[in-house]
Amino acid sequence: MDILYPNSAGGDVHQKTVVVCALWRDGQRSRQETRTYQTTTAELLKLADWLDSLGITHLAIESTGVYWKPVYWVLESHLEVWLVNAQHVKKVPGRKTDVSDAEWLASLMKHGLVRPSFVPPKPQRELRDLTRQRANLVRDRTQVLNRLQKILEDANVKLASVVSDVNGVSALGMLRELVAGRTDPKRLAEFARGSLRKKQGQLEAALTGRFNEHHRFLLKHALTQLDFLDEEIEIFTCEIEQRVAAPSATEPPTASMSYRRAIELWDSVPGINERNGQVLTAEIGVDLARFPTAEQLASWCGVCPGNDESAGKRRRGAIAPGDRPVRKALVQAAWAASHTKGSYLQALFYRLAARRGKKRALVAVAHSIVISAWHMLTNNEPYREPQVKLSDKQKAKAVRRTVKKLERLGYEVELKPLENVTVLVGG
């Protein structure tokens, strides 16, 4: 077996220690040595000096929880560190020790039998931390709203049955009045704004419940949590916008475009707004050189179908595993795009949902978005609606399908073709 990296090492990372096995050549002789270091910064610097003294050029470590991060951050400036998927380096059973794990990783690294996972540059990592923490805050806020709704149901206050959003201005105004001790339904209904004022009679009936001091205490603290989370989300949003607006402080030196420009390109896609564009830019980045093709980017995002074929038969396969925050953002964008009237993505969604179901159709739309995004970010061009013409075979099939539908409804159809009409996919 060919040796691709003669001076390499493998590391088994834990919370307190890291066991490293180094393989190197001393003249014509192969050498091996294993050492254990603490994961404190001082100890990791000693590990870096030891690897430098042996001439180690590559180190493979498993992505173990978050414990790999300090090891990677310290060593990345001294040698090339490969973060490998633990599922890809399963060992032979019966040899489960820290030392044998390190030796196995070093051997795989030496012969080039592992693939490195992508670890973005520091500016992108920091931007990604901000967008992920904002997503956590939004999720916490949703949980608080659900608890608030439980409080209202326990008090038999049926506000959610009348208003479309308990988090709206009108509903929050009524809830704050309840916390202040004013429980007169007629007076509370006066806080309705806009079109909700037409439902004052329904509001009075919905706000007549058994709201007492216990419910007031719970509701007060739920609203306090809601205000706190709103403030935190706004703080993180401002910080993200500042990072994006300061290219010199956030972009990698080799980036071909700014983060701001990448967000603008994402925003040009139907179904994607600026906040979603920030998430996708923070997760994917602006330099797509590590994705030679659009299909590879779709696979990394986890929005392409699985590949499961045996004996010439293609079996049903789940979608490929990928970056979960990216996949979540893309599916949300696909759902929004399916409601964008007149768009190619909406036509694609309804065409596939009719025979494959809505969930598969959403993944297909997300896949289409990723393919378009790769070309947009590579060529620095905004999104353009695809103009895909139907082939004669596709046109004939669509005609037969439409005629059969009309005949089942009791109509006799007579077809008369029109001249100079271009039929597009989904049109």
* DSSP assignment of 32-94: EEEEEEESSHHHHHHHHHHHHHHT--EEEEE--TTTHHHHHHHHTTTSEEEEE-GGGGPPPTT
Q: How confident is the model at residue 98 (pLDDT cuts 50, 70, 90)?
A: confident
Residue 222 near residue 147, CB atoms below 8 Å: yes
| Length, in residues, of the chain | 427
Tell me whether strands 17-26 and 8-13 are parallel, antiparallel or unpaired.
Answer: antiparallel
pTM: 0.82
User: What average pLDDT does the structure give for the chain?
Assistant: 87
Domain limits of the chain? 8-110, 123-245, 255-379, 389-427
pLDDT tens readout for residues 204-242 = 888 888 889 999 999 999 999 999 999 999 999 999 999
Q: 123-245 maps to which CATH number?
A: 1.10.287
Task: Round to whole Å and give the CA distance between 177 and 341.
Answer: 40
Q: What is the pLDDT of residues 242-286, one digit of tens each?
A: 999 876 544 454 456 889 999 999 999 999 999 999 999 999 999
Tokens 């009719």 correspond to 354
The CA-atom distances, in angstroms, between 234 and each of 85, 135, 137, 225, 276 are 35, 12, 10, 14, 15
Compute how many other C-beta atoms are within 10 angstroms of the C-beta atom of residue 367: 23
Q: Taking a C-beta distance cutoff of 8 angstroms, is the pair 59, 20 a contact?
A: yes
Report residue 88 as tokens.
Answer: 């890809």
Reply yes or no on whether the pLDDT at 289 is more than 50.
yes
Indicate the fold that domain 8-110 takes in CATH.
Nucleotidyltransferase; domain 5 (3.30.420)
Record the tokens describing residue 70, joined without a space.
């300090």
In the block, which residue shows the tokens 């309705």? 192
Closest to 59 measured CA to CA, from 102, 27, 16:
102
